[in-house]
Chains A and B, each alone.
Chain A
Amino acid sequence: MKSPPFDYVKVHRIDEALALLQQHGDAARILAGGQTLVATLNMRLSEPALLIDITGLDALRGIDRIGDRLRIGALTTHAAIEASALVAEHAPLLAQAAPHIAHRAIRNSGTWGGSIAYADPAAEWPCCLVALEGVIEVQGPSGLRRIPARDFFKDLYTTDLREDELVVAAEVPVADTTDWFAFDELARRHGDYAVAGVAVAARFDGVIAREVRLGFLGMGPIPLRTPRTEALLLGKALDAGTIEIALASLKAELDPLADLTHSGPTKRHLATVLTRRLLTAAHASRAALAV
């Protein structure tokens, strides 16, 4: 369908964007990659009066290592993250997740900040940020706020971002040599919104897991961690027996609602399938290093 009419303005300074957001409130929408917004408009699910195009804000673009953090600007496209040598080296979880986002043409336009601000429950970046314990930086009339990922994603399509604020960047910790990462998701067709997905961020001492973080997408309104399950993996080698004990806990810790295509129990089952795959791969990888 065709979008309803709206006004459009392209801003060249962030304070222009913030002023417009304050002035128009809910009648305005931020346009960056537009891969969610324009689809929403084309389906007439939303009828904003004004689109504020922020793609001219070059300061919001870029990937930089700042000490022990990797900072990714909000306007950085999914494709740029996918192709980045800095990301491959310092945040390999993101490099693994990027190819799962929709399809190439969408990744060429869609942005890191857009995915984070929209907070779709099946989105890859919010799940990765929760697993990596990243920090989201937002700017509003009262200045900059830095919000830990676990506090940023609050409910379905709901974040801590206020109506007059803009996501400007998000940071993740730089990977260590003892870190191991993996991401996988399951969808009915490649590129569909995922039915279940998991991000594993683990730190090892040889084959022994010293820290394990499991981030799940598609298991609830926001990306979820499973601390009780994570605790069962600490100080252990992730052999088959340990994994099965953890998966039994996972089945109790996850309680997803059904979505359009899958029941709650099926989604939970798929989460365990993915977790088993990734933890098994983690162990194999660490065991191979020990040889």
Chain B
Amino acid sequence: MTQHHSIDLTINGQRTQKHVQPRTHLVDFVRNEFDLKGSHLGCEQGVCGACTIEVNGKIVRGCLTLAVQADGCHVRTIEGLSADGDVRDLQDAFIRHAALQCGFCTPGMVMAAKELLETKPDATRAEVREWMSGNYCRCTGYHAIVDAICETLAQRAGRTPVEGKV
């Protein structure tokens, strides 16, 4: 019943053509076809954020995006983002603040935070918390993640980060 569809897209800067089943979502596609295991699946319902991936410059839920919908698109996974160096400072801050333990949520956290850094450079701690509320972490208790993001925002703006208790 289900045909395979041919899709033509760019993944982490590499143009490629593949055949996919329509039901295959973008995370299964990048993990299985390209061995890009950095994008994770936690809920497959769009609530946990572990699948967060970039399509045409914007973060989306990879588990709620069909691979066929990525035809003609530019997809960037955590591997590509990391290689591009856009958020080297954020990643360093994550390490300094111990903002990861098991690391399962981390690619999604970094992806989501990347778009915050790009679009809300003046975000307050409260705004960072609200923005990041779409990404769940079971290990860290979140504060270290928020600290790392706030510190990166402050550094990029050339100011001293505000210490937050919450």
Q: Point out residues on A near B: beta carbons under 8 Å.
A: 1-8, 10, 31, 34-35, 38-39, 41-43, 49, 51, 53, 55, 79, 99, 102-106, 108-109, 189-191
24 cross-chain CB contacts under 8 A: A2-B28, A3-B23, A31-B66, A31-B69, A34-B64, A34-B65, A34-B66, A38-B25, A38-B46, A38-B64, A38-B65, A39-B44, A39-B64, A42-B25, A42-B44, A43-B45, A53-B68, A99-B130, A102-B46, A103-B49, A104-B112, A105-B134, A106-B61, A191-B134
Enumerate chain A residues within 8 angstroms of B1, measured Cβ to Cβ: 5, 7, 49
B8 within 8 A of A: no
Residues of B within 8 A of A106 (CB): 46, 61, 64, 134
Interface hits, B1-33 → A, CB 8 Å: 1-3, 5, 21-23, 25, 28
Contact across chains for B45 and A190 when beta carbons are under 8 A apart: no
**In the complex, A104 Cα to B3 Cα: how many Å?**
33
How far is B24's CA from A4's CA once the two chains are assembled, in angstroms? 10
Distance of A108 Cα from B71 Cα, bound (Å): 17
B82 within 8 A of A: no
Residues of B within 8 A of A105 (CB): 49, 52, 59-61, 112, 134
| Nearest B residue to A110, CB-CB | B64
Cα separation A31 to B66 with both chains bound (whole Å)? 10
Hey, which bits of chain B sit against chain A, CB under 8 A?
1-3, 5, 21-23, 25, 28, 44-46, 49, 52, 58-61, 63-66, 68-69, 71, 112, 115-116, 130-131, 133-134
- Select one of A1, A49, A104 contacting B131, CB under 8 A: A104
Compute how far the CA of A2 lies from the CA of B28 in the bound complex, rounded to whole angstroms.
10
CA distance A219 to B13 in the complex (A): 48
| A99, B65: Cα distance in complex, Å | 21
A124 nearest CB across to chain B (Å)? 16
Q: In the complex, A7 Cα to B21 Cα: how many Å?
A: 9
Q: Name the residue in A4, A103, A190 with the highest tally of chain B Cβ atoms < 10 Å from its Cβ.
A: A103
In this complex, what residue of B is CB-closest to A83? B119
Q: A6-B23, A105-B49, A189-B133 are in contact. Are A42 and B5 (CB under 8 A)?
A: no
> Complex: how many Å from CA A45 to CA B1?
20
Q: A34-B65, A106-B134, A190-B130 are in contact. Are A5 and B58 (CB under 8 A)?
A: no
Instruction: Choose among A6, A35, A51, A99 the residue that contacts B64 (Cβ–Cβ < 8 A).
Output: A35
CA distance A229 to B3 in the complex (A): 56
How far in angstroms is the closest Cβ of chain A from B145? 15
